[in-house]
Amino acid sequence: MQGSEPSAPPTTFEEAFERLRATIEELETGPLPLETAITRYEDGMRLAQVCNEILDGAELRIQHVLREADGEAGSA
Amino acid sequence: MMRSSPAMGAHFFQVHELVGYIRELLTGDPILSDVWVTGEISELTQSAAGHVYFTVRDASTRISSVMWRSQVRRQSLPLLPGFQALVHGSIDIYDQRSTYQLIADVVLPGDAGRLRAQFEALRLRLEEEGLFAPERKRPLPRIPQRIGIVTSESGAVIHDMMRVWERRYCNLEIVLAPSVVQGEDAPRQVVSALRRLNDFHATRAPLDLIIVARGGGSPEELAAFNDERIARAIFGSPVPIISAIGHEVDYTIADFVADLRAPTPSAAAEIVVPAAEDLCREIDHMTDRIRSAVRRQLDESWNDVRDVQHRLERHSPSRAIDAERRAVDDLVARATRAIHAELASARTNVEGAAAQLAALSPELTMRRGYAVCTRVVDGVVLTSPAGVGLGDLVGIRLASGQLIGEVLERNEPKAAGARKETHARE
């Protein structure tokens, strides 16, 4: 299974979602060699799972607070 | 309505007729139906029905005013006695007491006129410069990953937005650049916050969009966002910007420059992300589509295989072999028939030969009276007298039966034509 993975696993939801969409496009538009179609199917299912996992596990927080540097306050 | 007496050149009215006439004069006047007046608000009361009665006055004069309940609800600035105000409305007459009054629909701060004029001048200038051009509005990503926010760190706005995202879609990274959002220093701080976010975008991690947000407030409180510095900072931002300033009715210069204007900060939070549950449904739908696409493909492959199989069967060598086998059978049958014919003709020949042979048999000759003579001792057929001596026994075979005789005489065939039978009879 892992050997047929064509590219690196997605790191973000957006990437996984976009790749899922692209996979569907590919499957729905052209006839693919059966081998490729089955690989794409496996990819698609894995991507959908990744998407769901990311959504389930997401937690909102403020990651960074960019305060004005002390010196900057009067400079603008 | 008007009663006049031409004889005396005078006009006679009923009271209500006169008041009606005056009312027509006032309400028909285009200026008096759309006036702005500046003055101090005083003698403010509110009726049980919700209408607000007040006086607008300056140093020497005053005018009675009323704001009907329906307008009071829309009035954002609180009406307070002593307040220097710019009031908009129309002049009408209150019939019963025959007093004219200002029917107010908007009350703004006293310097609103000046602010409004400044706002319009800046708006026109920036519009001509192309800062609001629709073609420079950038599209926003459907699923943002990292969002920059410029707003007050302490206000309710940031919490309201966070609550929206917690409910709707929380797979987000929020980068907050705090700034005061009202007062004199606000424009400078907002510009500085935008710069920090753009630096972050360029050097640390890309931002999908930036929201500049401020909760509702009076026009004066929102005025910072009409500052040209903020407009230019928004215009120059490489990251698309959403403005979410005040309430739905409030428009600031920042709103015109921004790539998108959201009516409120909470609305901005809603707009910029998809709902997680919609995404889940979409993902389910997509997996269904993948399944059916692959199923379709498998079916097609099966059909292809079956098709090829059928074609292969049509070209199978077993048909050719059958044909060859039939040809061989045919040949064998023909060969058999040929041999039988041959045999039959051979048999006919043999029968013919037998008949010929029979014709040549000595029996027929002997039936005509010829006999065969043999030496009895050994059965040798005698063809001359040399084979026997006198007194020997000879067998004479006739066409039917046999005789035994004794040789009484021998005539050697020295003299041609000598007849032995005559001697043998003796």
pLDDT in tens, A12-34: 888 899 999 999 988 888 778 88
Mean pLDDT score, A37-50: 89
- Assess whether pLDDT exceeds 70 at residue B426: no
In the structure encoding, which two tokens stand for residue B315, read together?
């070209």
Q: What band does B364 get if pLDDT is binned at 50, 70 and 90?
A: confident
Mean pLDDT score, B81-94: 88
- Assess whether pLDDT exceeds 70 at residue B148: yes
pLDDT at B382: 87
Please give the residue that has the higher pLDDT: either B52 or B83: B52
Chain B contact for A54, CB < 8 A?
yes
Of the CA atoms within 13 Å of residue B113, those in its CB half-sphere come to: 11
**Quick check: B294 and A27 CB within 8 A?**
yes
CA separation for the pair B99, B22 (Å, rounded): 11
- Assess whether pLDDT exceeds 60 at residue A48: yes
Mean pLDDT score, B252-261: 95
Chain B contact for A22, CB < 8 A?
no
**Quick check: A34 and B298 CB within 8 A?**
yes
In angstroms, what separates the C-alpha of B208 from chain A's closest C-alpha? 12
**Quick check: B290 and A41 CB within 8 A?**
yes
Cβ atoms within 10 Å, residue B106: 17
Chain B contact for A65, CB < 8 A?
yes
- Assess whether pLDDT exceeds 70 at residue B243: yes
- Assess whether pLDDT exceeds 80 at residue B373: yes
pLDDT at B422: 45
pLDDT at B409: 87
H/E segment holding residue B393? strand B393-397
pLDDT at A3: 41
Question: Of A2-6, B192-196, B334-338, which one has max mean pLDDT?
Answer: B192-196
H/E segment holding residue B43? strand B35-46
pLDDT at A65: 86
- Identify the closest residue of chain B to A50 by CA–CA distance: B283
**Quick check: B192 and A68 CB within 8 A?**
yes
Sign of CA dihedral A53, A55, A57, A61: positive
Pick the residue of A35, A66, A70 with the most B CBs within 10 A to test the interface with B by mutation: A66
pLDDT at B421: 44
- Assess whether pLDDT exceeds 50 at residue B345: yes
The reported pTM is 0.56
* Per-residue model confidence as pLDDT tens digits over B292-322: 988 888 888 889 889 988 888 887 788 788 8
As to burial, measured by CB atoms within 10 angstroms (0-12 exposed, 13-18 middle, 19+ buried), residue B157 is buried
pLDDT at A6: 55
pLDDT at A11: 80
CA separation for the pair B304, B320 (Å, rounded): 25
Q: What band does B198 get if pLDDT is binned at 50, 70 and 90?
A: very high
Chain B contact for A5, CB < 8 A?
no
In angstroms, what separates the C-alpha of B188 from chain A's closest C-alpha? 7
Q: Collect all residues with Cβ–Cβ distance below 8 Å to A61 and sequence separation of at least 6.
A: B174
Q: What band does B212 get if pLDDT is binned at 50, 70 and 90?
A: very high
In the structure encoding, which two tokens stand for residue B136, read together?
């420079």
**Quick check: B297 and A44 CB within 8 A?**
no
pLDDT at B370: 86
Mean pLDDT score, B251-276: 94
In angstroms, what separates the C-alpha of B292 from chain A's closest C-alpha? 9
Please give the residue that has the higher pLDDT: either B111 or A9: A9
B→A contacts (Cβ < 8 Å), by residue, are 141, 143, 145-146, 153, 162, 165-166, 170-178, 188-189, 191-193, 196-197, 200, 276, 279-280, 283-284, 286-287, 289-291, 293-294, 297-298, 300-301
% helix, strand, coil for chain B, step of 5 = 45, 20, 30
Per cent of chain B over pLDDT 70 is 94
Least confident of A40-49, B2-11, B106-115, B184-193: B2-11
**Quick check: B188 and A76 CB within 8 A?**
yes
In the structure encoding, which two tokens stand for residue B277, read together?
């549950």
**Quick check: A55 and B191 CB within 8 A?**
no
Q: Please calculate the CA angle B313-B317-B320 and round it to the nearest 5 degrees.
A: 115
Instruction: Estimate to the nearest angstrom the gap between the alpha carbon of B65 and the chain centroid.
Output: 64
Do residues B374 and B391 lie in contact, with contact meaning Cβ atoms separated by under 8 Å? no
Per-chain mean pLDDT for chain A: 79
- Identify the closest residue of chain B to A64 by CA–CA distance: B175
Q: What band does B8 get if pLDDT is binned at 50, 70 and 90?
A: low
- 3-state secondary structure (DSSP) of residue B111: coil
Per-chain mean pLDDT for chain B: 88
Chain B contact for A70, CB < 8 A?
no
In the structure encoding, which two tokens stand for residue B61, read together?
């004069």
Please give the residue that has the higher pLDDT: either B227 or B361: B227
pLDDT at B112: 66
pLDDT at B283: 92
Which of B188, B283, B300 shows the shortest C-beta gap to A51?
A: B283
